[in-house]
Each structure stands twice: as C-alpha cells, then as structure tokens.
Amino acid sequence: MPALAVTLRQRTPIPLDARFECEAGELLALVGPSGSGKTTILRAIAGLVGCAEGRVEVAGEIWLDTARGIALPVQRRRVGFVFQNYALFPHLSALENVAIASARADAAAHARELLARVRLEDLAERRPAQLSGGQQQRVALARALARDPQVLLLDEPFSAVDQAVRQELYQELAQLRLTLSIPIVLVTHDLQEAQRLADGMVVLDRGTVVAEGTVDEVLAQPAIAERMPGVEAGSLLHCRVSGHDARYGLTLLDVGGATLRVPRVDLAVGTPVRVRIPARDVALALSQPSDVSVVNRLPGRIESLAARDATYVDALVRIGTAVALRARITREAADRLALAPGIGVWCLIKSVALDRATSMLTVESVRPNDAPSAAMPGAPQDVSQR
Amino acid sequence: MDWEATRVSLWLATATCALLTPIGVWLGRRLAIGEGRHRALVEALLTLPLLLPPTVVGFYLLAAFGAASPVGRWLDRFAGLQLVFTFEGLLFASVLINLPFMVQPAQRAFAAIPNSLREAAWTSGLSRWRTLLRIELPLAWPGILGGVALTFAHTLGEFGVVLMVGGSIAGETKTLSIAIYDRVQAFDTAAANAMSLVLVGFTLAALWVVFATGQRARRYLQER
C-alpha cells in the first residue's frame, strides 16, 4: 500500500483528471505549465479545496472519499504545507511560527530542534521580515515539519528566491529528505528542478496526467521532452561515494558496480549522491580505448537506439544491471560503428561532463547560516528590514 | 462646566464601544472574507448612517420604538425597556449610527490579511477559532483599535440623534454636545468654551490613536 494515493476528477472550476501514488521517503514532482492544475491538486490533498470526485489516502487513512462522503477538514489532515510565498505569520518570531504548528507538549523545544535542523537556531527570535528569502523558506519548511506530518506538500517552494539561494536550498532539501520517511510532493513548473530533486515525476497538462514514472522514464519519452523546452537529454545516476584518490584529487563513485571518477568532493564514504550526465557528453567506442585522456570509461551494452532527428541518435546503454546511460551521437557515427541493440560498447564520459556532474551533486557538506545580505545584495528577498 | 454631562458622554462612548466591538469584528470579518450574496446591499445599509442626516435616523428610531409603536409597546411590556428618552435608547441609537465607524476599519483590517496566512494556520493544525485568536486578531487589531477610537470620538461628538432620541434629561441623556448647546443658548460662553475644549481634547486623542495604529498596521503588513 502506497503512503499516499491520490485520485482526483472534476470538470469545474479547474478541470482535473489525476491519479498517482507516492511511497514513503519518495519525492514526487508534479510538473506542468502554470494553469495545469498542479497547485490545485496539492491544495486538494491538504483539504484547502474540495474536489467533485476523488479519493486521497494517506498511510492507510482516508482523507477524502467522495464516493463515501468522507472529507476530513484541513486541520485533521496531518500535512506539512510549504506555500509559494511561505505565508509566515508576520507578527510571530521564527520560533513562534514553528512552535504554533507543533502539537507536542514541549512545542517550544520541538520548534528549536526543527530550527536547528534547518540551521536557523541563531535567528529564532527574528520576525519573518528580518529574514532573507532563503531563511524564510527554511522557517516555512520547519513549520511544515512541526506537525509531524504524514505527507509533506511543497508548492513551488523555490520560486520566490534568486538562483544563487535556490541552488543552496536544493541541496538542503536533498539532505533533509534523507531524514524523512514520509511521501513528499513537490509542485514545480521547472523541470530542471524536478529532475534534480525528485525520484518520481507526474507531468500535468490542463489538469490531466500526461506522463508519470521515474524521472528517467518520463524524460525518456520524446513527446514529453518536446513539451518541456530547455530540457537537456541526459542520465541521472544514483551513486555512492566509494572512496577518494588523494594523489590525483579525485573522488570515486560507485554506480551499479562500475566506478566513476569525479573531482574531489568532501563527502564521507557511503554517502549517496546523484550525478547527471548530459547525453551529448557521452561518446561511444567499440573497444576499450587506452590512448585517450578521458578518465571515465564504462563498459556496457546498447539497449536501444532512437533517432532524434536527421542528425542525431540517442543510444541507451545498459551498464551493469541497474544503470542506464544515455548517449547522443550522430547518425553517421552510429552507422559507421554499426551500432545496434545488444552490441557491447565503451562509454567515454568527457571530463567536462563530470565537472558539471559534480556541481550537480545534490548532497554536499553545507556551510552555516547565510547572512541575510551575504548571498546577493541586490535581491529584494535579501534585504533585511528592522 | 457640566460634569454630569461629561460623565454621561464618557459612559455612553465607552458602552457603545464595548457593545459595538464584537459586532464590528464579526461583521467586518464576514464582509472581508465571506462570499455573502448580499454583500453590496449589506455594505450600503451599514454606510447609510454616515450619509443620512441625524434627524432622519432619529425620526425613524422614535417612530419605531416610541411608546406609540407596537415594538415600543412590546419592549416596554415584556422587557420593561423604554428606548425613547432613556440612556438605553440612546445607547441603542448610538450603536446603530456608529456601525460604519467600527465595521469599515475592521473590514479593511481583515481584508488586508492574505488568505494564505489563514490557510497556513489551518494546515498547521489551528482550528478556525484559534486562527482568529492567534493569527487574525493580532494582525487586525490596529485596524480594530482604530475603529474603536473613531467610534468613541464620534459618540462624544454626536448631537442630532442624541437630541432626537434622548431629549435632554440631565444625568440620563444630556451629553456634552447637548450641554454645550444649552450653555450657548443661555449665553454662558465660559462653560460652553470649557466643555468644547474637553471635546476637542478627547476627539484629538482618539484621532491620534487612529492614525498611530494605522501607521503600525501599515508597517506590519508592508514589511511582509
């Protein structure tokens, strides 16, 4: 039984036809253009809006079942909800904002603990207006967790901060979710964001689910990729730090039995990380080349070939059992090498790609509190008012 | 200087504020966030006392609650309540004509609270009642306080309706503004002057509260 199962259907006021599930500990992204109904779905899960026909089940508890006339009020649904503009209570301190949502007897202590978890313990007494945009988002996240929620709902939580802060918050969310064992639903119109943070993805268009599956599966569908401009075809690899090479300043990542070498990152051995490798930065060779400078050479077997257009072909290469790497090569090259499914190849991952992959690491040792004005002096969210 | 009239005026203003505050908060909040079908009509009715001459309001109150009217007779018989030429009647009239002074600032104050704050409170597990007490009232109170101050000052200054409904019974319905009129008629300029100064002082203080709280409210909501 999934930790969160949602079915929603209605014609008005906002047409919806959605059905999806999310496991405990999974981060599911609801992606779609604005007006696609993704926020409405989130609000229906929380009970902030009704739905003509639907069912929401969380951890075995029925929150909504229109067929049986069940619709729990918002207050009885244990959700953590992070609003787009955070909706922090302006007259309360950061600590009070979090404590008010805690049902525990020691609400203040609980709130302090949560603020420490988002590294804001030193700013607990500040009012929201005295916090930077990034700090406000973290207070909102702490408040959402204060109820000991059974599901965490994030409504475009990164849209109100600038790019620099966003990158930082991504990493924090990635780190935080390692400690959570509840389903997390993230609403975003930014596919890159979904790609970076989510395990599963539901793509919506005018309230209807047009694609769903793991991030890799969804992005593999050309129809979806076409719909989402700006998305670069690539592979998302789930790895684990397996060691460090001090002599060459490299970190070794284990990916399904194979090893990737990336510029050194300070992570403990065993830390799970994700790297993204753009398809056009993967070259294929029929034999193991020994006279190239490329560090990462992984053996695999071609699983499928799909022509992109007149010039390019996307090859999906299976490495070991669990990993699939996407390579974009020219049709000319594919024909010259007589590539076909089942053929063994070597994937050459250019160092450029890995540099980029390293910066995409979603878990990283993070530095302490960012000062309100430190990140970007010009950005409005970072102006602190007293 | 008519201390009895001062006492009546202050007592009337205080009682009006005490009765009107809960009504104003309730109505103002409803108008601000409710989706009532007759909202425009209700708003028009509530604003009516602002524009009608006090004589019209007074006349209808007399007609409705006087000893000759069925309502007046009924109230007298079953509640022992006489609303004409009594303090209770004056208070009733005062609550009625001060509705716009209380409701409008309260309505504006509640309307200024983003709906997402209410929703955030609900998703944080706060009941509607606790949301009102912990979130909405603390954010709306500068506006509500402004309404209270306006009501207080306006009650002190009301003349026409008091004259029509209350008459001028010393210690019961003779307020400061009526007493000033009396003194002027009697060419007692010194007393009229003293009482006028008292009224100016109270009204100025009340208005100061209105504008100070308005400023505070703006700061609160703008800094978000």
CB pair distance less than 8 Å for A129 and B116: no
- pLDDT mean over A216-227: 68
Burial classification of residue A200, based on how many CB atoms lie within 10 Å of its CB (0-12 exposed, 13-18 middle, 19 or more buried): buried
* Closest CB from B122, B124, B134 relative to A143: B124
The two structure tokens encoding residue B122: 């609900």
B70 touches chain A (CB under 8 A): no
Q: What is the DSSP letter of A189?
A: S
- Computed over every residue of chain A, the mean pLDDT equals 84
Q: Is B221 on the interface with A (CB under 8 A)?
A: yes
Only one residue has tokens 């014609």, namely: A11
Asked if the model's pLDDT at residue B74 lies above 90, the reply is no
Angle at A33 between CA A172 and CA A40, to 5 degrees: 80
Q: Is B117 on the interface with A (CB under 8 A)?
A: yes
- How far off is chain B from A132, nearest CA to CA, in Å? 11
**Look-up of token digits 């076909």:** A340
With a cut of 60, say whether residue A146 has pLDDT above it. Answer: yes
Alpha-carbon gap, residue B127 to A100, rounded angstroms: 12
Q: Give the integer Cα–Cα distance in Å for B179 and A149.
A: 65
ipTM surpasses 0.90: no
pLDDT of residue A381: 37
Interface contact flag, A100 B119, Cβ < 8 Å: no
What pLDDT is attached to residue A255?
A: 85
Does residue A175 have a pLDDT over 60? yes
Query: Do the Cβ atoms of A111 and A98 come closer than 8 Å?
Result: yes
CA distance A131 to B93: 49
Amino acid at B34: G
Q: pLDDT class for B173, splitting at 50, 70, 90?
A: confident
Is the confidence at residue B26, as pLDDT, over 90?
yes
pLDDT in tens, B6-20: 899 999 999 999 999
As a whole number of angstroms, the distance between CA B52 and CA B177 comes to: 19
Listed residue (A85, A9, A2) closest to A50, CA to CA: A9
H or E element at residue A151: strand A151-155
Write the CA distances from B194 to A46, A314, B2, B182, integer angstroms. 62, 94, 9, 13
Q: Could you say which DSSP state residue A286 is in?
A: S
Residue A335 contacts by C-beta under 8 Å, 6 or more apart in sequence?
none
Query: Mean pLDDT in chain B?
Result: 88
Give residue A365's pLDDT.
Answer: 31
Give yes or no for residue B222 having a pLDDT over 60: no
Residue B127: list chain A partners with CB under 8 A.
Answer: 75
Strand, coil or helix: B126: coil
Q: What is the pLDDT of residues A92-134, one digit of tens each?
A: 999 999 999 999 999 999 999 999 999 999 999 999 999 999 9
Whole-angstrom distance, CA of residue A55 vs CA of residue A68 = 9
Range A249-253 average pLDDT: 89
Q: Report pLDDT digits (tens) over A147-164.
A: 999 999 999 999 888 888
